[in-house]
Structure 1
Amino acid sequence: MVRERSWRMIDTVRRAIHADPSDRTATEALPVIDDQMALRAMDLAMRVAEVMLSAGASAKEVVIAALGIARAYGLRSVHVDVTFNSVSVSDHRHGEDWPITLMRVVRSAVPDHSKLQALQALVRDIDDGLELGAARSRFHEIRRTPFRYRQPIVILSQALLAVGVGMMFGASLQILAVTFVAALAVALTQAGLARLQVPLFFSQIAGAFVLTAVTVLVAMLARMGVDPFSDVKATIVVSSGIVLMLAGLAVVGAAQDAIDGFSLTAGGRILELTVQTLGVVLGILVGLELAGTLSIGMQPPSEPLPLGPLPAQFAGAVLVAVAVAVFNGAGIRIVVVSALLGMIAWAGFALVSAASLDQASASFAGALVASVVGAVIAHRLHVPSVAVTTAAILPLVPGAAVFRGLLGLVEAGGEAEHVLFATSSLITAGMVGIALAAGATLGLFLGSPIGRTIGGAEARRRAVSRPTAGGANVVMQKPAGGPRLRPTRVRR
């Protein structure tokens, strides 16, 4: 008797420590999905992921969308792998046969936020039960949709972006007119090179060179006292152009991929970002060196470029945000939200700057506030969060610091004091860029769950019937007599 009680006590202790395999729910019952159905569902998930990645979505958003499509059609063991220029989808359902693996190459990455918004709506409808054939037809319609705006509108919006930057620095009408012409020349140059399929690196060099050439010409006319160029500040003109050429870079997407753990995709985007930024630097340096050779160089400013009146700052920030949204293909809803977030981002920047903190801290605060509010609004209005966030933080890009540092290096003449000042400006620009990326990414991380909570869209398990290849639906039901699951067919 004592021995039996001892064994029972030992068995009780063992079961309290070790899990009993017999207590686990049996998993033999699986939805009936044949290979043809699996291939069609996986192909749709892969193609949606490819277009989303090329339209500017982050790698995490792409993976979530592809997995959601696969699960909606009964594929629970799908693996999705996203790199910088490819998407792979694999399914090993039975564990015995060869897995089904599909891969597609992402050949180009051009932001198209209207298309991205339509794809996100498609993913939501699929999760709500959209039939596979209808989903595939709708996807092909979205994929074939042309860019929302024609080329002249895109070029005009790029020129207006530079004008918005000039307004933030309190530029006069003469300076704004010269800025518009210089930015228009840059936009036309890059559009022509893109039509000739010239790599973006060389397009950045050419655009920066054209910008510097126009700026040096204006500076020379101002030095000669030629009206109406005598009062034009060349630094404002070239700083606005730098912001224009850096506006299309995926700073937020690269930082978000790195933080989310997609190291390969983040590495590719960061490398592309670095190469394109170096293209701008090289174009400006070549232009400044050529100007110095022709004895028409510019005097580097000794102090940072001051901002204009507060109303002009907000007006310029709104114009920049709207212009970015337009040349990224956004619809009217995203344009309005971008304008609002541009004001919010600049308000955060101005408040922190008023507290005598440095530019990097103020830029971080502005990007953080705008991203949190943008994530909440994006969830409520069903617009891509990356679209509104990118447009909101562009007014904070340190174009003036970049140009001040590059001009200082060229005109330093070997003097240590000038070299240190120029290097300090470039370091400040780099710190501001990192602060913008960190603030925007942290804001999206904090704002997304807040948006889901406010919208009443917390993740919860739902028993939704999904179509199978045989025209029936399979739902999993739990019988009253035991824990084992059994499939039940429901005819339409």
Structure 2
Amino acid sequence: MVREHGRRVIESVRRAIHSDAPDRTTTQALPVIDDATVLRVIDLAMRVAEVMLSVGASAKEVVLAALRITQAYGLRNVHVDVTFNSITVSDHRHGGEWPVTIMRVVRSAVPDHAKLQQLQALVRAVEAGLDLDEARTRFREIRRTPFRYRPSVVILSQALLAVGVGAMFGASWSILLATLLAALGVALTQAGLARLQVPLFFSQIAGAFVLTALTVLTALLARLGIEPFVDVRPTIVVSSGIVLMLAGLAVVGAAQDAIDGFSLTAGGRILELTVQTLGVVLGILVGLELARALGVGMEPPSAPLPLGPLAAQFAGAVLVAIAVAVFNGAGLRIIVVSALLGVIAWAAFAAVSAAGLDQAPASFVGALVASVVGALLAHRLHVPSVAVTTAAILPLVPGAAVFRGLLGLVEAGGVTEHLLFATSSLITAGMVGIALAAGATLGLFIGSPLARTLGGFTAARRAVARPTAGGANVVLRVPTEH
């Protein structure tokens, strides 16, 4: 009896340490799929991933979409490699044959959130059992879908975006009129250069120069006592234009790719973001220097630009969110969610600011709250989370701080106090930009798994070294309903 009890104890300890062969999970049988079908599946996954990346999706979302498509059609050993401008999809065939690999170059990156929403719906339909031929046909229809809005509507939405920023600073109707005219000048200039296929860097320089020139002209008319430009504040006009020109930059996507481990894609997006921002800076500096040479310089500000009444702030934030959503080609559902998140983001920012914190931490909290809520709503309403998050945090972009710093550097005239104030403004703008990217990315990182859990889906990430830089650091499991 004692000996039998001892054997049971030893056996229990052994089982707690070792796993027996019969208890191990058996290897899943691989489906037998002919090479022609494999090529068609991989081609569909790669093309969907290519379009998603080109219209604003993050690298992780692109990889997940490709893996969900290939897994739905029975391909279990697929590797997806995403870089800034290329996508590679490879299927390792049964271990004993050569892999089937296809690569495609992503040649453009223009946000189109309505198309992104349609592609996500296609991926869900594929997982629900959509036939391969039907999926390929539906994808071709989505790819050929033109941008939702006409160019005139896009230009008008850009102008209204700048007006919304001016309203947040409590601008009068004359200042809003000057802001509208300056924004229209910027939008028309950049639209014309885009038709000529001028690189965006030079388009940013031209737009910023036009913005500064129109603002200096407005200031000159105000000095001459010409109505209705007498009470126009140039800082509001230029600040609104800066937010307009930075509205299309993928700050959230770049930060998200960096945190998710897609280093090549993140590096490319961050470099592109930096170059385009430098274009805005150069255009404003050239305009300010030219105005100074002509004797039409502006006095450097001595204090940050104050915000307007709280009601005007919320109205401006809503207008900015709606304008950004339209500018990015969003449908009605995304526009409504963006407006709601704009209110939430600004409410969080205002609450933290009222508690006495600086602009950078307040912006971080505002972006974080809006991003978490946006991820939950996006999953519930089947809209892209990056679309609603981008529109929600745009009112927090520090356009005023950027202009204060640049104007202070140009007009300082060697005065130490002005130089210090200008440098401080630029540092503040940089900190706010980093805070916005960090808050929005952390919110998506928290909100996306929470949304999947609440919706009855499970997913897992595995932190292992990838065989190629920019590859898929994602393991996909079959969604299961609770």
| TM-score bucket of the superposed structures, by smaller chain | over 0.9
Deviation at residue 32 of structure 1 after TM alignment: 1.5
8 A contact 2:69–2:127 mirrored in 1: yes
| Equivalent-residue separation in structure 1 for 2:210 and 2:479 (angstroms) | 58
- Give the corresponding residue for 2:474: none
Distance 1:458 1:27, change over 3 A: closer
| Matched ranges for 1:108-123 at <5 A | 108-123=108-123
Distance 1:317 1:144, change over 3 A: same
Deviations 1:364-401 (A, max 9, x none): 11111111111111111000000000000000000000
- Secondary structure in 1 matching 2:87: strand
- Give the corresponding residue for 2:369: 369
Larger displacement relative to structure 2 (88-97 or 387-396): 88-97
Distance 1:178 1:42, change over 3 A: same
Deviation at residue 461 of structure 1 after TM alignment: 4.8
| Equivalent-residue separation in structure 2 for 1:210 and 1:19 (angstroms) | 72
Aligned residues between the structures: 463
Residue 284 of structure 2 aligns to which amino acid in structure 1? I
- Give the corresponding residue for 2:341: 341
- Give the corresponding residue for 1:156: 156
Distance 1:176 1:463, change over 3 A: closer
| 1:315 is the counterpart of 2:315 | yes
- Give the corresponding residue for 2:220: 220
Deviation at residue 16 of structure 1 after TM alignment: 5.5
| 1:200 is the counterpart of 2:200 | yes
Deviation at residue 452 of structure 1 after TM alignment: 2.5
| Equivalent-residue separation in structure 2 for 1:463 and 1:181 (angstroms) | 54
Superposition RMSD in Å: 2.2
| Equivalent-residue separation in structure 2 for 1:226 and 1:461 (angstroms) | 68
- Give the corresponding residue for 1:95: 95
Residue 98 of structure 1 aligns to which amino acid in structure 2? W
Deviation at residue 15 of structure 1 after TM alignment: 6.6
| Equivalent-residue separation in structure 1 for 2:157 and 2:61 (angstroms) | 28
Residue 130 of structure 1 aligns to which amino acid in structure 2? L
- Secondary structure in 2 matching 1:226: coil
Larger displacement relative to structure 2 (428-437 or 88-97): 88-97
- Give the corresponding residue for 1:391: 391
| 1:211 is the counterpart of 2:175 | no
Deviations 1:17-57 (A, max 9, x none): 45555654443732111111111101000000000000100
- Give the corresponding residue for 2:35: 35
Residue 66 of structure 2 aligns to which amino acid in structure 1? A
| Matched ranges for 1:80-479 at <5 A | 80-458=80-458, 461=478
Deviations 1:287-327 (A, max 9, x none): 00111111111101100001001111100000000000001
| Equivalent-residue separation in structure 2 for 1:368 and 1:456 (angstroms) | 24
| Equivalent-residue separation in structure 1 for 2:275 and 2:393 (angstroms) | 21
Residue 454 of structure 1 aligns to which amino acid in structure 2? L
| Equivalent-residue separation in structure 2 for 1:177 and 1:414 (angstroms) | 34
Residue 45 of structure 1 aligns to which amino acid in structure 2? A
Larger displacement relative to structure 2 (439-448 or 53-62): 439-448
Deviation at residue 150 of structure 1 after TM alignment: 0.3
- Give the corresponding residue for 1:75: 75
Distance 1:339 1:11, change over 3 A: closer
Deviations 1:69-117 (A, max 9, x none): 0000000000000000000000112222211110000000000000000
Q: Which has the larger Rg?
A: 1
8 A contact 2:54–2:111 mirrored in 1: yes
Task: Provide TM-score, normalisation by structure 1.
Answer: 0.90
| Equivalent-residue separation in structure 2 for 1:453 and 1:78 (angstroms) | 25
Larger displacement relative to structure 2 (29-38 or 286-295): 29-38
Larger displacement relative to structure 2 (30-39 or 57-66): 30-39
Task: Provide TM-score, normalisation by structure 2.
Answer: 0.92
- Secondary structure in 2 matching 1:31: coil
Deviations 1:248-273 (A, max 9, x none): 00000001001111111100000000
- Secondary structure in 2 matching 1:228: coil
| Equivalent-residue separation in structure 2 for 1:20 and 1:462 (angstroms) | 29
Distance 1:229 1:6, change over 3 A: closer
Distance 1:385 1:28, change over 3 A: closer
- Give the corresponding residue for 2:45: 45
8 A contact 2:161–2:320 mirrored in 1: yes
Residue 102 of structure 1 aligns to which amino acid in structure 2? I
| Equivalent-residue separation in structure 2 for 1:422 and 1:462 (angstroms) | 53
Residue 171 of structure 2 aligns to which amino acid in structure 1? A
8 A contact 2:338–2:392 mirrored in 1: yes
- Secondary structure in 2 matching 1:301: coil
Residue 237 of structure 1 aligns to which amino acid in structure 2? V
Moved over 6 A (4+): 5-15
Residue 163 of structure 1 aligns to which amino acid in structure 2? V
Deviation at residue 456 of structure 1 after TM alignment: 3.6
Larger displacement relative to structure 2 (423-432 or 217-226): 217-226
Residue 67 of structure 2 aligns to which amino acid in structure 1? L
- Secondary structure in 2 matching 1:104: strand
Deviations 1:220-273 (A, max 9, x none): 111222211111001100000000000000000001001111111100000000
Residue 37 of structure 1 aligns to which amino acid in structure 2? T
Deviation at residue 462 of structure 1 after TM alignment: 6.6
Residue 32 of structure 2 aligns to which amino acid in structure 1? V
8 A contact 2:57–2:386 mirrored in 1: yes
Deviations 1:327-365 (A, max 9, x none): 100000000111111011110111111011100011111
Deviations 1:441-472 (A, max 9, x none): 111111123322333445685799xxxxxxxx
- Secondary structure in 1 matching 2:232: coil
Deviations 1:150-190 (A, max 9, x none): 00000000000000000000000000001000000000000
| Equivalent-residue separation in structure 2 for 1:405 and 1:192 (angstroms) | 29
| Equivalent-residue separation in structure 1 for 2:237 and 2:456 (angstroms) | 47
Identical counterparts, % of pairs = 80
Distance 1:186 1:463, change over 3 A: closer
| Equivalent-residue separation in structure 1 for 2:190 and 2:479 (angstroms) | 50
